[in-house]
C-alpha cells in the first residue's frame, strides 16, 4: 500500500543508467495514457533493483500493493522533488489491507458518515524526495552514499542555507581556528597546490591586489575563490573535499565534514536521502492491532487520518507512522520505555501515533505517549 512516484529506486549499473534518466518522462506518459483506466497499484513505482539488504522492505511493499487495482489516477505537483497524486481502489470485498510480516496488523476502511465497512476508497498522496532538489536524477549505485557524494550534498545544503556567505568561509572559520587570520588564506592555498596545478601561480598578496589591509573578510574570500575558479578547472566543492576533507580513514573524513558543517549534518543528509510519502485517508481507515500487543476497549478504535511513510535507502529501512486526529486510549503490553530502557508489563496510555518499522534486522512496533512523548517499543513484536 506504499506509493512512490517519479523516481526509480533501482540499483543500476552503468549499462542501465539510461533507464533512470528516462523514468520521470515515462511516468508522465503512463499517467497521461492511463488516467481513466485501471492499473495495478504496484505499477506506480519500481522496486525491482532495491539493494539486497532491503529484501524484507521489498517483499513488504510488493505483497501489500500487488493485489489491488487503481483507477482515476491524477498526478500533480510543482517539481519532481515535491509531487502529489490521487487514485481510487475498488474491491469486491470490504476494503482491507493486510500488512505482511507485521504480526497481524491491518488497515480497514469505512464510510465516514455511516461508519460501516466500504468496498472503495480514494487515496490522496503527497510525495517528497529532497535529493532531487540538488540533482536532476537519482541513480542508486556504489557512489550514491559515498563520502564524496555526502560531502557534496552537505556543501550544497549549506550554500543554500547561507546564500549570502562564500562557502570557503565555512572552512576558514571551522578548520583553521589555530592559525592566525593573516596566514589562513596562505595556508589554504598551499594545501590546495599540493593536489592541483595552478596555471598562473600567485602569492596571497597578489591575489588580494596588494590591498589586503583594506579588504573585508568577504572581499578576500571572493577574490580567493575567483582565483581558484580561474586557475583550476575543477568544481570548488571537489577541490575542498580532496584537499581538506578526504582521508583514507572513513571516520576521520566524517570528522572533518562535521567540523565544517556541524554535528547534525548526518541527520540533515538522512532527510535528503529519504523518500517521504504521506497517505491521507480522510479519517476513513482503522488500524487493527492484535490484542496481544495493544488492547483497545470496545468504544475506542485507532482511526487513521495520515500514514507518514519514509523509505530510508541510506539506512536500509522503511517506517510507517500511523497518525490519528485525537489521542486514543489503549493498554500497551510487554513493552520497553525507550528513554530509560525500562520494561513494563502493562500500561494504560493515550496515543496519536503508532509506528511500524521494517528492516532486515527485524520489525518493530513503537507507540508514542501523547502526554509524555515517551516511546514504547512492544517487545513481543518481531
Q: Cα(149)–Cα(237) distance, rounded to whole angstroms?
A: 10
358 neighbors 318 (Cβ within 8 angstroms): yes
| Distance in Å from the first CA to the final CA of the chain | 21
Contacts of 43 (CB under 8 A, 6+ apart): 30
Nearest to 231 by CA among 196, 203, 187: 196
Q: What is the mean pLDDT of residues 305-312?
A: 95
- φ, ψ (nearest 5 deg) of residue 231: -100, -25
Prediction pTM value? 0.82
Q: Cα(1)–Cα(97) distance, rounded to whole angstroms?
A: 7
Q: Cα(173)–Cα(83) distance, rounded to whole angstroms?
A: 38
Q: Cα(274)–Cα(309) distance, rounded to whole angstroms?
A: 10
Q: Cα(130)–Cα(97) distance, rounded to whole angstroms?
A: 29
Contacts of 180 (CB under 8 A, 6+ apart): none
For residue 30, the Cα-to-chain-centroid distance in whole angstroms is: 25
What are 359's strand-pairing partners?
Answer: 317
At 221-234, the pLDDT tens digits run: 999 999 999 999 99
Q: State the DSSP code for 34.
A: H
Task: Compute the mean pLDDT over every residue in the chain, rounded to the nearest whole number.
Answer: 86
317 grid coordinates: 529501512
Q: What is the mean pLDDT of residues 57-79?
A: 86
Question: Which pLDDT score is estimated for 11?
Answer: 33
Provide the 3-class DSSP secondary structure of residue 318: strand
240 grid coordinates: 575542498
329 neighbors 306 (Cβ within 8 angstroms): no
pLDDT confidence bin for 38, thresholds 50/70/90: low
Question: Which pLDDT score is estimated for 166?
Answer: 94
Q: What share of the chain is helix, strand, coil (3-state, %, to 5)?
A: 35, 30, 35
- Give the number of other Cβ atoms within 10 Å of residue 184's Cβ: 20
108 neighbors 70 (Cβ within 8 angstroms): no
Provide the 3-class DSSP secondary structure of residue 320: strand
pLDDT confidence bin for 31, thresholds 50/70/90: very low
- Give the number of other Cβ atoms within 10 Å of residue 98's Cβ: 15
Q: What is the mean pLDDT of residues 188-199?
A: 95
105 neighbors 289 (Cβ within 8 angstroms): yes
- φ, ψ (nearest 5 deg) of residue 334: 45, 70
Q: Is beta strand 294-295 parallel, antiparallel or unpaired with respect to 275-288?
A: unpaired
For residue 283, the Cα-to-chain-centroid distance in whole angstroms is: 26
Q: Cα(121)–Cα(130) distance, rounded to whole angstroms?
A: 29
Residue 241 has pLDDT above 80, yes or no: yes
Residue 333 has pLDDT above 90, yes or no: yes
At 132-176, the pLDDT tens digits run: 999 988 888 888 899 999 999 999 999 988 878 999 999 999 999
pLDDT confidence bin for 79, thresholds 50/70/90: confident
Q: What is the mean pLDDT of residues 340-367?
A: 94
At 165-189, the pLDDT tens digits run: 999 999 999 999 888 888 999 999 9
Nearest to 240 by CA among 176, 183, 190, 192: 192
Amino acid at each position: 500500500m506504499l506509493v512512490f512516484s517519479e523516481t526509480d529506486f533501482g540499483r543500476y549499473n552503468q549499462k542501465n543508467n539510461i533507464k533512470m534518466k528516462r523514468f520521470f518522462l515515462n511516468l508522465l506518459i503512463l499517467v497521461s495514457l492511463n488516467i481513466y483506466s485501471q492499473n495495478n497499484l504496484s505499477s506506480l513505482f519500481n522496486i525491482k533493483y532495491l539493494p539486497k539488504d532491503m529484501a524484507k522492505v521489498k517483499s513488504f511493499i510488493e505483497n501489500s500493493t500487488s493485489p489491488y487495482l487503481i483507477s482515476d489516477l491524477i498526478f500533480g505537483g510543482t517539481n519532481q522533488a515535491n509531487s502529489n497524486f490521487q487514485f481510487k481502489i475498488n474491491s469486491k470485498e470490504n476494503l482491507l489491507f493486510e500488512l505482511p510480516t507485521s504480526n497481524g496488523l491491518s488497515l480497514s476502511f469505512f464510510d465516514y458518515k455511516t461508519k460501516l465497512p466500504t468496498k472503495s476508497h480514494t487515496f490522496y498522496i503527497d510525495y517528497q524526495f529532497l535529493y532531487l532538489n540538488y540533482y536532476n536524477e537519482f541513480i542508486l549505485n556504489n557512489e550514491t552514499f559515498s563520502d564524496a557524494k555526502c560531502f557534496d550534498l552537505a556543501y550544497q545544503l549549506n550554500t543554500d542555507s547561507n546564500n549570502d556567505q562564500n562557502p570557503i568561509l565555512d572552512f576558514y572559520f571551522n578548520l583553521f581556528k589555530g592559525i592566525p587570520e593573516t596566514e589562513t588564506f596562505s595556508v589554504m592555498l598551499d594545501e590546495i597546490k599540493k593536489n592541483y596545478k595552478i596555471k598562473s601561480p600567485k602569492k596571497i598578496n597578489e591575489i588580494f591586489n596588494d590591498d589586503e589591509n583594506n579588504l573585508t573578510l568577504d572581499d578576500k574570500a571572493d577574490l580567493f575563490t575567483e582565483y581558484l575558479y580561474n586557475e583550476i578547472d575543477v568544481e570548488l566543492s571537489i577541490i575542498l573535499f580532496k584537499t581538506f576533507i578526504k582521508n583514507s580513514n572513513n571516520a576521520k573524513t566524517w570528522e572533518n565534514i562535521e567540523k565544517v558543517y556541524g554535528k547534525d549534518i548526518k541527520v540533515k543528509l538522512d532527510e535528503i536521502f529519504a523518500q517521504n510519502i504521506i497517505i491521507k485517508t480522510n479519517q476513513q481507515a482503522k488500524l487493527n492491532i492484535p490484542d496481544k500487543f495493544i488492547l483497545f476497549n470496545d468504544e475506542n478504535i485507532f482511526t487513521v487520518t495520515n500514514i507518514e511513510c519514509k523509505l530510508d535507502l541510506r539506512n536500509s529501512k522503511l517506517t510507517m507512522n500511523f497518525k490519528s486526529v485525537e489521542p486514543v486510549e489503549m493498554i500497551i503490553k510487554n513493552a520497553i520505555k525507550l528513554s530509560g530502557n525500562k520494561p513494563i508489563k502493562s500500561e494504560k496510555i493515550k496515543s496519536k501515533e503508532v509506528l511500524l518499522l521494517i528492516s532486515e534486522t527485524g520489525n518493530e512496533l513503537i507507540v508514542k505517549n501523547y502526554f509524555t512523548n515517551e516511546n514504547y517499543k512492544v517487545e513481543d513484536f518481531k
